[in-house]
Amino acid sequence: MVDDVVRGRLAPAGRVEVISGPMFAGKSEELLRRVRRAGFAGRSVEVVHHAVDTRRGAGAVSSHSGLAVPAVPISDVAALEEHVATVRAEGLDLLAIDEAQFFGSALVDAVQRFAGLGLIVIVAGLDVTFEARPFEPMPSLAALAESVTRLTAVCSVCGADAAFHERVVAAGAVTTGDAAGGSGAGVREARPELVGGAESYAARCRHHLAVRPWDGRAVTR
């Protein structure tokens, strides 16, 4: 900013805002609230989501409470950058990206480039896997953002704040996947086949997590 002032011009007003948390935390709802507010302020807004998530239909971002706005389904970061270049040529102030976890680690640098062009970039997505591990790229995006909002859900067992979610099956048993198989404490990236909603996942507080990878054991509550 100082260099820009010395040169007699203002820096672009780009910034990155991250909305993260477990499933059922209201991330999409918060993103939609900010999108609507930007619209009221007269900003030009573009909303996108990853094409792999079709739980509530393609071509829209919607919340569990029923809020919805039109959105463009995008398959990967290369397609996202191409789309942003096209829309920006027509005038763009704010880019909102939902289900960002499915774009993978390449999204981190792309978002920084978008902000460098002067765009406000709002990124919403899961930052924790159903195995209670960091879910990239959200943690890396949070480290480079001007604003980070981490939301919690409501534990479906006790009603406490839930910073986690677990994958469940119809009978209510927890499916632990790699964590139970001793795959270690590595950071996970998206596996599209795990896309699902309340029929597949449940919010959990720390006390009611069935799998705690940091101590290498499963617990029963």
What's the CATH code of the domain at 66? 3.40.50.300
Identify whether the C-beta of residue 213 lies closer than 8 Å to the C-beta of residue 132.
yes
The rounded distance, in Å, linking the Cα atoms of 56 and 68 is 10
The CA-CA-CA angle for residues 189, 207, 185, to 5°, reads 30
The rounded distance, in Å, linking the Cα atoms of 70 and 64 is 15
Q: pLDDT exceeding 70 applies to what percent of the chain?
A: 73
Task: Place 55 in a pLDDT band, splitting at 50, 70 and 90.
Answer: low
Reported as a single tens digit per residue, the pLDDT across 148-168 is: 999 999 999 999 999 999 988
**For the residues 83-100, what does the mean pLDDT come to?**
96
Q: What is the pTM of this model?
A: 0.81
Task: Place 219 in a pLDDT band, splitting at 50, 70 and 90.
Answer: low
Please report, in range form, the residues annotated as the binding site for substrate: 201
Task: Place 61 in a pLDDT band, splitting at 50, 70 and 90.
Answer: confident
> pLDDT value at position 194?
53
Please report, in range form, the residues annotated as the binding site for ATP: 21-28, 98-101
Reported as a single tens digit per residue, the pLDDT across 176-196 is: 443 323 344 455 444 434 555
The rounded distance, in Å, linking the Cα atoms of 47 and 70 is 7
Domain that holds residue 143: 2-218
> pLDDT value at position 193?
43
Domain count, the chain: 1
Residues involved in catalysis: 99
Task: Place 169 in a pLDDT band, splitting at 50, 70 and 90.
Answer: low
